[in-house]
Amino acid sequence: MIALTARAALTPAETIDHPLLLIEEGKIASIGSRSSGEIPSGAKHVDFGDHLLSPGLVDIHIHGAVGYDVMHDDKAGRQRMEKFLVAHGVTSYYPTTVTASEEEIVRALDRLATAIEGAGKNPSRDGLAQPLGIHLEGPFLSHARRGVHPPERLLNPDLRTFDKFWQASRGQIRVMTIAPELPGALEVITEASKRGVCVSMGHSDATFEQAQSGVSAGARHATHTFNAMRSLKHRDPGILGEVLSNPKLSADIIVDGIHVHPSVVRMFVRAKGPERAVLITDGTAATGMPDGRYKLGSLEVDVHDGMCLHDGKLAGSVLTLDKAVRNVMKFADVTLQQAVRFATLNAAVAVGASGRGQLQVGGPADLLVLNQCGEAQATVVNGVIAEA
């Protein structure tokens, strides 16, 4: 048994001062105030002093890091990325595909499903971040708002193609980004929702009414809000009007100071509120690497001054999720506890990851140790402590 103590614990729904958190067999055995409990005899006591305990971060949209791209067959590269994620406080993540040929997507889905199944059988894999499910981004995207997704590979949604991807993933698709205005989209949204997929509207030129139809069909989330979306106009609100005004929709955002202006980040947080705002990275293989040229699927992207570009267009980011937490504190004037929630509980709830993103008895002992500024000091993955 391991006993952790610190200045406070952010569950993140509440704050526990001077907590005592017990870990047994990779699970949280108990959590409460140290004043109401004692460290069990024989337990290994680790005191984090003035630091804070929080749930491990959950990234629901990431394409790669430290030279690895999830579309590529590179097991060593994936494990290198998972170690990098832990160093930045991420304990679980959703590898995110990009638009490619159907055959390339099928091969990637099969590989990622194998990785997810293997991680599930051995969750304490030497302190590596755990993939929980696949985020299918593309090919059901709008040509008008495709970003850098290759136009020749985009497809209108249909049940046959969706089921082909579903079977290739062995049911591991947990998030799907789709443009609701495309022919066939509503039927696919309905079917994906029935299968437990978090359907997320994104890369979309939808009108307000088309976005509402997507929600009625089962969409419940929005992908990198503001980016690759029809612009908001006061007499033509478009998809953003629905995303920002519907209190039932959760939505994610890239808070790197590049993709979205800080003042708009502040507006987004106020619109979505404390329970529906989600932080993502949209990180690429260039994350954690020096300036240079890297891969995003089959595309080559150039990185300089913190920007990831393909033919002059933004192509993902080099953001880490712990940095996003610190940025949103500054941009939106929120507390560390609120910012942590955006990258933990809110993310987990959005994608239906039961028991993740929170500190609760019986849940996985996935924790992040933070200083008062929100900087990662250590990470605990299924009870295994790794220094940040």
Given its phi and psi angles, is residue 141 left (phi above 0), alpha (psi -120 to 50 degrees) or beta? beta
pLDDT in tens, 364-380: 999 999 999 999 999 99
Length of the chain: 388
How far is Cα 373 from Cα 164, in angstroms, rounded to an integer?
Answer: 46
Domains and CATH numbers, the chain: 56-355 (3.20.20.140)
Q: Say what the pLDDT of residue 383 is.
A: 93
pLDDT in tens, 275-309: 999 999 999 999 999 888 888 887 788 888 888 88
- Tokens 């030279």 locate to 67
Exposed, middle or buried: residue 107 (CB in 10 Å: 0-12, 13-18, 19+)?
Answer: middle
Q: Say what the pLDDT of residue 50 is.
A: 97
Q: Is 282 a catalytic residue?
A: yes
The HSE-up count of residue 243 (CA atoms within 13 Å, CB side) is 31
Contacts of 299 (CB under 8 A, 6+ apart): 98, 148, 150, 310, 315
Q: What is the DSSP letter of 13?
A: S
376 membership: H or E segment, kind and range: strand 376-381
Q: Say what the pLDDT of residue 312 is.
A: 84
Among 59, 252, 256, 282, which one carries the catalytic annotation? 282
Q: Say what the pLDDT of residue 266 is.
A: 98
How far is Cα 85 from Cα 79, in angstroms, rounded to an integer?
Answer: 10
Q: Say what the pLDDT of residue 388 is.
A: 62
Q: Which residues of the chain have pLDDT under 70?
A: 387-388
Q: Are 64 and 98 in contact (CB under 8 A)?
A: no
